[in-house]
Homo-oligomer: A and B are copies of this chain.
Amino acid sequence: MPNAAYDRLTDRFARIATIGECASMLGWDAAAMMPSGGAKARGDQLAVLAGLSHAQLTDAATGDDLIAAETTRGGADPWQTANLALMRQAYTRATALPGDLVEAQARANAACEKVWRDARQASDFKQVAPFLTEVLRLTREAATALAPALGLAPYDALMDGNQRGVRSADVAPIFAAYEAFLATALPQAEALQARRPAPMRPQGPFPIARQEDLCRRLSERLGLDFDHARLDRSAHPFSGGTQTDVRITTRYIEQDFTQAVLAVVHETGHALYERGLPPAYARQPVGEPAGMGVHESQSLIVEMQAYRSDAFLSWLGPELAATFGGAPEPYAPDNLGRLWRRVERSFIRVDADEMTYPAHVILRFRLEQALIAGDLVVADLPGAWNDGLQALLGIVPPDDARGCLQDIHWYDGAFGYFPSYTLGAMAAAQLMNAARRAVPTLDDGLARGDLSPLLGWLRTNVHAQGSRLGFNDLLRAATGKPLDPADFQAHLTARYLV
């Protein structure tokens, strides 16, 4: 290596990645632009692209070239070695699943997700239970097929598809330790918070056009280059598009600019990661993001670590006051800190603060392990959910809409994804610590609304690494140690307990 087989593989994977770019753009369009009447055709378009991509990947020639390239790997540089290993992994995953299982999953997931929307609306778990049962049955079948091919336990095979190299055995003790930390930290944080003045909420209306302009300015200020990006609206904020053409979205409500702004900051973090991936390995597996946990670390380091820091809020407060006018007091940095760094036991994961958020993830991690293992049946999920939340946060959802029906993930066939959120939050704290040690000007930058000292460090130590390294190896190279939950706990302690 380099050799002819490897070169053919890089061509093939570039083609596969390019098909993926088409799908990504069409996915963005579906969420941000498409009229409702285009939905059916769009589904067909994405299915055809998925089929073409799958055919390219599982072609017999891919397998032959992988063997040929693997047997002649003398002198390969570590990027090529990693690239080849990732190609092998993608091929193994794709060929481990029978085609009719993949199709059955696509159909079952789509059917279940559709029913879930109504069931959540009506808070009626029974309505969707048979569909979720079928989704789970097929997911377990897939996990069982993937497991021996990857040399992993079934649930780990699913997790590995979202964050390579992280096993449930790695995560379980970290989550257990967090549960213990939370049991004392949360009441302390609540008590401390109760003794401080309640935050003032800025009073709207906040004209949408002004919010939109602010969001774009903020995103640019954080480092997103709009020659290679767009900001649009969609029902649920997301970051999509491609490495050289990132599309982020948010939603606006006139009475509260916070939602739109925080979403844009979060998605900007994702987008900056995409923009910083190594161009030399564009469209190669090794040039892709290192997994969903790492991706979430990059959104959260911007949203939670940088944006909500005292330093950044000291710059942001006057900016917000100038943008929206009205009484200046709510925009005082101290008040913004109390407003945006507030702990609260609540039912909905996506609205949770950073201290209680992991509890929502821990609940789901344990439940989905039990579902995949066959230790929990779908009919018992609502009860298990409510018991679990009671144990973790001491609250019980008043209905299933605010309980086990709240997230789309399982109903769309996504198992093994949830841990990525908390792995990302913990990694973000650890990366921030390392960046602060390495870049003394980091907080001075934030106090000027300038993310570039932090971003420069992330570019080098995270973004430019692509997926050359797994989750823990990436952290080890960047911070000197694998994931260490102590950094996240220290961050929370400093922010909420003193």
Contact = CB atoms under 8 A, between A and B. Distances in A.
Interface of A: 15, 18-19, 21-22, 25-26, 29, 33-38, 40-42, 44-45, 48-49, 52, 225-230, 241-245
A35 B227 contact: yes
Nearest to A21: B45
B242 A35 contact: no
A244 B22 contact: no
A34 B229 CA distance: 8
A70 to B, nearest CB: 26
Contacts of A44: 18, 21
Nearest to A282: B41
Contacts of A21: 41, 44-45
B33 A45 contact: no
Nearest to A44: B18
A48 B21 CA distance: 11
20 contacts: A18-B45, A18-B48, A19-B48, A22-B22, A22-B26, A22-B49, A37-B225, A37-B227, A37-B228, A37-B229, A37-B245, A38-B228, A38-B242, A38-B244, A40-B244, A41-B242, A41-B243, A41-B244, A42-B245, A52-B52
A34 B226 CA distance: 10
A129 to B, nearest CB: 33
A49 B23 CA distance: 11
Contact of A35 (B15, B38, B49, B230): B230
Given A22-B26, A44-B18, A49-B22, A33 B35 contact: no
Contacts of A42: 245
A203 to B, nearest CB: 28
A245 B34 contact: yes
Chain B CB within 10 Å, residue with most, of A22, A34, A44, A225: A22
A37 B226 CA distance: 8
Nearest to A230: B35
A228 to B, nearest CB: 3
Given A22-B26, A35-B226, A35-B245, 13 more contacts: A19-B48, A19-B52, A21-B41, A22-B22, A25-B25, A25-B29, A26-B26, A33-B33, A34-B245, A35-B228, A37-B225, A37-B228, A40-B244
A259 to B, nearest CB: 24
A462 to B, nearest CB: 21
Nearest to A37: B228
A33 B25 CA distance: 11
